[in-house]
Structure 1
């Protein structure tokens, strides 16, 4: 089985699972794969929207129900939740919509919001808007990256599997670096 076949077979599942958590790398790669014709761009956006919405809703309700216990169990989340709380005091709607774009706050943000006095309906409404913007912006960036490469290298089809491998490798390294960097702090 080739890499391109794996992307075609499991790409949508990877988008959904990635969108549940901090899935920017997966979503960028999926946008690139859509440009190359392996995945459908509208389906990527829809699946990322659903996964991103569901993930943040789950974290929100986990924060609402188990927030204090989660912070005791995972004390490394405390600084991020404190940062979200400070931001929420001044920019509640903007934070709810934009938290998924803020580095290091994708999981801690909804947990903190769940622990706050934000109503569940208010969070759901603005979370839907944020998920739609995020899914379109991040996957669109991956798609545009593919278009840019196409302009730069007219016969990219000859090299696309190698380019895809390099992009996946870089994405994995960035993801590992982000996780490793958080653990050190």
Structure 2
């Protein structure tokens, strides 16, 4: 297997997990640990699967191909250590990330996450767990923004537990229902939309209130 084949398998592991288990047996736990750690810990790998991977892994636990408690414990550890690594990288680079042209960083994603972080503060670390791309950049931005390590870890652990447990248990309960398995991509997209919905409404409300305040100030 060459590098491109390996990369393709990792990126689409949510679709090839059955095959990986049959080929690698219990080593699949290490593969899943690496994917979750990399997606949350390395900003250049923000495209790795996250939500669908957790859901599918939970579904396979329901067929006794993996052990659910062991999987949850392992992936919470991966999510926490991944975010922690990302935080340290951001802390080491600091504010110059916004002024230097780092080719390995998606500046648009970085700036969007930074604005998200400025608006929602520390709870961004928890909310971002359920939002692709933002999930990968949030701990990095927290490190850049000099959030205290103890405060970061409080949100980091809470978010990791909520993310991993909710999606793997949902997969365990619903993942093998035919209609769910056949429409998994659509369901995940709806879930992301529901996660983003309240945030989007909050942003619109703040924008409208700001515009109203400006009109009132202009009318005086």
TM-score using structure 2 length: 0.61
TM, length-normalised to structure 1: 0.71
For 1:21-100, list aligned pairs within 5 A: 21=39, 22=48, 23-67=50-94, 68=96, 72-74=101-103, 76-100=105-129
Does the 8 Å CA contact 1:60/1:110 hold for their aligned counterparts?
yes
Q: What's the offset of the Cα at 1:147?
A: 4.4
Residue equivalent to 1:134: 163
RMSD (Å) for aligned C-alpha atoms: 2.9
Count of residues paired in the alignment: 155
CA-to-partner distance for each residue in 1:10-67, whole Å, 9 max, x for gaps?
2211221121114333322211110110111111111110001111110111011024
Query: Looking at both structures, which has the greater relative contact order when contacts are Cα pairs under 8 Å and sequence separation is at least 6?
Result: 1
* CA distance in 2: counterparts of 1:117 and 1:35, whole angstroms: 42
Instruction: Indicate conservation of the 8 Å contact 1:8/1:39, yes or no.
Output: no
Q: Point out the structure with max Rg over C-alpha.
A: 2
Residue 10 in structure 1 maps to residue 27 in structure 2: yes
1:148-163 aligned within 5 A: 148-149=177-178
CA contact (8 A) 1:11 1:30 kept: no
Runs ≥4 in structure 1, deviation > 4 angstroms?
none
